Amino acid sequence: MVKNCSGIGQFRRGTFDKILLGPGPSTVESRVLRALSEPTMGYLDSDFLAIMDETKNLLKYVFQTENDLAIAVSGTGSAGMETACVNMIEPGDKVIVCVHGYFGQRLAQVAERCGADVVTISSPWGRPVDPEDVRKAIKAAPGAKALGIVHAETSTGVLQPLGDIAKIAHDAGLFMIVDAVTSLGGVEVPVEKFSLDVVYSGSQKCLGAPPGLAPLTANGRAMEAIKKRKVPVQSWYFDLTLLARYWGDERLYHHTAPANMIYALNESLRIVAEEGIEKRWERHLKNAKALAAGLEAMGLKLLVDEPYRLPSLITVRVPEGIDEAALRKQLMSVYGIEVGSGLGELKGKILRIGLMGSSSNSRNIILLLAALGSILRSMGFAADLTASLDAARSA
């Protein structure tokens, strides 16, 4: 008998399920969990291939793209980042990476590990990158091949405007590699509008599936460049030309598809399509505004200025003298609510509140504001609970 092996069931809370309002994963609907538990099929079973084809079409819908290549890479959002970088970058390529938070830093690190000569453009955490800085950096780095940028910076809660930067980069002949991990399914990702070349995401943020798949799309221009590489893609597992042969008509075996995860993603994408992608963006925006109004009315300060606030993740400053870790611990132990802590230079200074996918609803906003306000009061901060709930409700 193996000791101390009570299993996942011991943490099930029944009517008091954990409420996921962190930086992802978000709530996984029971429909999606049921799809996950359907019988596993072989990776070349025609029934499974039909589900893959459906999933591809649903991915094209959420990415709002006509690109031929729209797939789910096996692995979490970071696998999408690796795939984008390892395919687009050859050793010695000059690559510009915009860094306005933790995930921009990671993108720069991944690009560097692909052998790129990386030039970074920074902006203070909580602020977007300035297109003028991009223009200057491109001028100072002639021959650069690609520009990497995070659309929704989950570490700071900034939604980075992409239009001007994409135009500057494309005019100079650079490819755009875009991290849409926390925007896809919650905020418009302008793949076609700004001709974004390679865009990747994650299943567990605004799409509402469990973690484990990275939706990714690449346009014809990017795929041409990959075919013309001088050296083969260093990663066999993430080689897009090989993955495209399995996801495309050829159906050439590459690696065993994580069938049940594909079922779950398929079901979560069907939920997105049933709601309608535009309606989903509106819901995320409306709920983010309600939460922001409630937090401000409580007496708290938001990290990000209004036009750049990310609807799927709201960052709020922890008041002076309040122990951020203890606050989060009580939210979980007393109310079963998960929120995120600050990363990097924002550690201990902010809370990161995710309103992603099914987690973005008015019940969660009111519960969180009430719980947060009451804990803050017990810690000595005079949170105005009545004003907070009123402001959220009227927003």
**For residue 215, cis peptide bond before it (omega within 30 degrees of 0):** no
The Cα–Cα gap between 30 and 243 comes to 30
Pick from 22, 24, 157, 190 the residue near ligand PLP by CB under 6 A. Answer: 24
The minimum distance between CB 97 and ligand PLP, in angstroms, equals 13
Instruction: Number of residues interacting with ligand PLP: please give it, by CB under 6 A.
Output: 14
Pick from 58, 150, 353, 385 the residue near ligand PLP by CB under 6 A. Answer: 150
The minimum distance between CB 81 and ligand PLP, in angstroms, equals 6
The Cα–Cα gap between 392 and 286 comes to 10
**DSSP summary character for residue 302:** B
**Which residue shows structure tokens 């494309």?**
170
Binding piece for ligand PLP, criterion CB under 6 A, among 48-56, 71-79, 191-199, 303-311: 71-79
Pick from 26, 65, 67, 76 the residue near ligand PLP by CB under 6 A. Answer: 76
**DSSP summary character for residue 319:** P
Q: Would you count residue 258 as binding ligand PLP (CB under 6 A)? A: no
Of 103 and 247, CB closest to ligand PLP: 103
Q: Would you count residue 77 as binding ligand PLP (CB under 6 A)? A: yes
The minimum distance between CB 394 and ligand PLP, in angstroms, equals 31
Site for ligand PLP in 81-120 (CB under 6 A): 81, 103
The Cα–Cα gap between 268 and 35 comes to 9
Q: Would you count residue 247 as binding ligand PLP (CB under 6 A)? A: no
Structure tokens at 184: 């896809």
Structure tokens at 185: 């399914």
What are the Cα distances from residue 142, in Å, to 94, 104, 169, 237? 9, 22, 12, 32
For the chain, give the number of residues. 395
The minimum distance between CB 29 and ligand PLP, in angstroms, equals 19
Of 63 and 103, CB closest to ligand PLP: 103
Q: What string marks each residue from 29 to 68 as x (binds ligand PLP by CB under 6 A) or -?
A: ----------------------------------------
**Do strands 337-338 and 19-20 pair parallel, antiparallel, or not at all (unpaired)?**
parallel
Q: What string marks each residue from 318 to 357 as x (binds ligand PLP by CB under 6 A) or -?
A: ----------------------------------------
Q: Would you count residue 185 as binding ligand PLP (CB under 6 A)? A: no
The minimum distance between CB 226 and ligand PLP, in angstroms, equals 21
Evaluate whether 129 touches 159 at the Cβ level (below 8 Å): no
Residue partners of 205: CB distance under 8 A and separation at least 6:
23, 24, 25, 26, 77, 154, 181, 182, 184, 185, 186, 312, 354, 356, 357
The minimum distance between CB 145 and ligand PLP, in angstroms, equals 21
Q: How many CB atoms lie within 10 A of CB 231?
A: 9
The minimum distance between CB 75 and ligand PLP, in angstroms, equals 7
Q: Would you count residue 179 as binding ligand PLP (CB under 6 A)? A: yes
The Cα–Cα gap between 18 and 336 comes to 5
Q: Would you count residue 158 as binding ligand PLP (CB under 6 A)? A: no
The Cα–Cα gap between 315 and 111 comes to 27
The minimum distance between CB 261 and ligand PLP, in angstroms, equals 13
Hey, is 273 helix, strand or coil?
helix
Binding site for ligand PLP (CB under 6 A): 24, 76-78, 81, 103, 150, 152, 154, 179, 181-182, 202, 211
